[in-house]
Amino acid sequence: MDLFTYYRSTSSYRVRIALAYKGLSYEAVPINLIKDGGEHRRLDYLALNPQGRIPLLRTDEGMLIPQSPAILEYLEERYPETPLLPKDVLARAQHRSVAAIIGCDIHPLHNVSVLNRLRQLNVGEKDVSAWIAHWISEGLRSVEALIGDEGFCFGTVGLADVYLLPQLYAARRFNVSLEPFSRLARVERLALAHTAFQQAHPDVQVDRPI
């Protein structure tokens, strides 16, 4: 498999965690979102992914799958031996709820394309930072209230954690305080000591600037 990725992309980070957790080998194909106006805008990349975003997974069969939720669902169904979703239907819904809050209501609002659009509308950097902090903090308050008091989000490693850790990384990158979130801090500590999360971390990716 080939994963078109960027070291600090939140959504790429999710997929890297899932691949590492499932013990799947892949070739990382770095797509720099900043260099020369963004390599994701090159015609050769747009020919692979018309949306021009990452991540993009090329399967062993050559199929191209854009968007991290679709990639994660594919990996879960294609490689079920190390599952990210529990068997119980209600427990699965818990994981998906947290994933949706992060993937639909938090991350898109600090995506680079949204922030650039705000700047194009003459929103100042102070207000851009306030925008980021508002939406991340509001979303994480909901996640804090939904997850359990022990272990990972819902006990053992699962889909919710795959979404949460990259979002916490993004919060720190944008200098958003995580002090109010003791449950999230617990999950973060556990995850950062877990091999799969360590292997997927932005700091150890091949395209991280030296």
Q: Are 147 and 153 in contact (CB under 8 A)?
A: yes
pLDDT the model gives residue 3 = 98
**56, two tokens:** 């993009």
Q: Are 187 and 169 in contact (CB under 8 A)?
A: no
Q: Are 11 and 99 in contact (CB under 8 A)?
A: no
**171, two tokens:** 């919060």
Give the length of the chain: 210
The DSSP code for 130 is H
Q: Is the pLDDT of residue 34 over 90?
A: no
Q: Are 188 and 9 in contact (CB under 8 A)?
A: no
pTM of the model as a whole: 0.95
pLDDT the model gives residue 81 = 95
pLDDT the model gives residue 174 = 95
pLDDT the model gives residue 196 = 98
pLDDT the model gives residue 202 = 97
Average pLDDT over residues 148-173: 97
pLDDT band at 126 (very low <50, low <70, confident <90, very high): very high
pLDDT band at 37 (very low <50, low <70, confident <90, very high): confident
The DSSP code for 106 is I
pLDDT the model gives residue 199 = 98
Q: In this predicted model, what pLDDT tens digit does every residue of 170-197 receive, in sequence order?
A: 999 999 999 999 999 999 999 999 999 9
**78, two tokens:** 């294609």
Average pLDDT over residues 143-157: 97
Angle value at C-alpha 12, between 137 and 88, nearest 5 degrees:
75
pLDDT the model gives residue 208 = 94
pLDDT the model gives residue 97 = 98
pLDDT the model gives residue 35 = 85
The DSSP code for 102 is I
pLDDT the model gives residue 156 = 97
- The DSSP code sequence of 31-65 is --SSGGG-GGGSHHHHHH-TT--S-EEE-TT--EE
Question: For the chain, which domains are there?
Answer: 2-82 (3.40.30.10), 89-197 (1.20.1050.10)
- Give the lowest-confidence range in 26-30, 93-97, 206-210: 206-210
Q: Is the pLDDT of residue 143 over 90?
A: yes
Cis peptide before 55 (omega within 30 of 0): yes
Q: In this predicted model, what pLDDT tens digit does every residue of 43-78 receive, in sequence order?
A: 999 999 999 999 999 999 999 999 999 999 999 999
Q: Are 136 and 174 in contact (CB under 8 A)?
A: yes
Which H or E element spans position 28?
Answer: strand 27-30
